[in-house]
Amino acid sequence: MNLDIQSLRTFSDLAHSGAEEAAGSLTTLTGFDARVAVTKIEMATRSDVEREFREGDLVTVHIGFSGAIAGHTILAFDRERAVELVDALVPGASENPESELATSGLKELGNIMLGGFIDGWADFLGEGIDITTPTYVELDADRSLEDVVTHEGSSRVDADSADLRTQLDAGHVLSFRNQLETISQEAGFYIYMLPTHDSVETIVDAAGKSDETIPVETFTSFSEMITEGAGQASQDLTAMTGIDTTVDVSRLSFVPVEGVPMELTDEARRGVVLEFSGTPSGYIAILFDHDSAESVADALMPGMDSDPAMRQSAIQEIGNIVTSGFLDGWANALETTIEISPPTHVDDIASAIVDPLVTELARTQDYAFLIDSAIVTPDETFTCDIYALPDERELRAAFDQLAPEQQAN
């Protein structure tokens, strides 16, 4: 299966318009004024998706779909917001959020919202798409995402479950993720769409595939390269500070350029920004929350609390080492050289830090490949977030070098 930039743009547009339909349904049914905050295409691992559900304390409604395309959709609610929605839809149901009345209300909301989301894809393809009865699901340690999406209880979806199971077993999932929010409150709703490989191919063909396609396996290979780079950065950070670290998440996503800052928190962050050049080129930000920044500065330069300049220098050096470890693996895999600029110290909210980088990219491209990795310590001493934004044209050249034998087929 091959993808191209035009196909990814089509996917993004369809997912965004479908999410707008879902947000409109949410507003009509509950009175909450909802809108779409972010739409992105992710190449994530199954464990990443499952962790987001479990650690985010989310409750979910699942609907399978089949026909012109097949797969699985998930509408995830923040638990507290779910209670508010149920009470707006079924007054009094929030008194017992686990009751049949409450879960039925959420299933009905999911049925209407996800139905509207899928309708847009059916209109684009000009063919019908059937959906299953909604299922209320709380993922826990004993139930995996694969268990849920491949056991819907519908023979029509079961016919496609082998394809979806293969996709899950492959380690990476191509998913379309939409983040919804209400005007007055933080985001609390997410829509995931997990299509089968055959369905992705159907949409690519309908979008009008260009000559410059990229095998989906190349995206997977690049995602694996990102994970390995994050692993090397984690090892270098441990060696430098003496604090054990591990990679929490590492993934590649495709998102409209203007949506990149929305992907980042508005909480204060401290770290460094660097520019890298070669194949690929782009920008990278190594960001710590303030407590984490103090922890790593203490580890590198103990007893320097009274010297802010030295602590800033320590953070810059740590950022430089982490960046080198992260990108060196890319250079080795691509058999190229990647040059790194001196680190620039930053101290601001995360979205404001990346905004100038996005502005530069927006001069030449409408969409961005966002690389998002996080390094953590087992005892939560600190968290290091890595955000890389490669130039789209240079990244395409990197894809060509990563899998030349696939590109030739």
pLDDT in tens, 5-19: 778 888 888 888 988
In sequence order, what are the residues at sequence separation of 6 or more whose Cβ sits closer than 8 angstroms to the Cβ of residue 119? 18, 21, 129
> What does the pLDDT average to over 309-323?
91
Q: pTM for the full model?
A: 0.81
The answer to whether the Cα torsion of 37, 39, 40, 44 is positive or negative is positive
Quick one: pLDDT at residue 276? Answer: 95
pLDDT for position 155: 37
Q: Indicate whether 405 pLDDT > 60.
A: no
Instruction: Report the C-alpha gap between 219 and 225 in whole angstroms.
Output: 10
Confidence band, pLDDT 50/70/90 cuts, at residue 56: low
Which among 76, 46, 64, 8 has a CA at the least distance from the CA of 166? 46
Whether the CB-CB separation of 90 and 105 falls below 8 Å is answered with yes
Per-residue pLDDT at 34 exceeds 80: yes
Q: Say whether pLDDT at 137 is over 90.
A: no
Q: What residue type is 350 in one-letter code?
A: A
Cβ neighbours for 262, distance < 8 A, ≥ 6 positions apart: 37, 38, 179, 351
Give the pLDDT confidence of 218-247 residue by residue, as tens digits.
777 788 888 889 999 999 999 988 889 988
DSSP state of 257: G
Averaged pLDDT of the chain: 80
Name the residue among 382, 163, 368, 187 with its Cα closest to residue 289. 382
Query: Quick one: pLDDT at residue 360?
Result: 92
Neighbours of 242 (CB within 10 A): 9
The one-letter amino acid at 59: V
Give dist(CA 285, CA 356) in Å, integer: 12
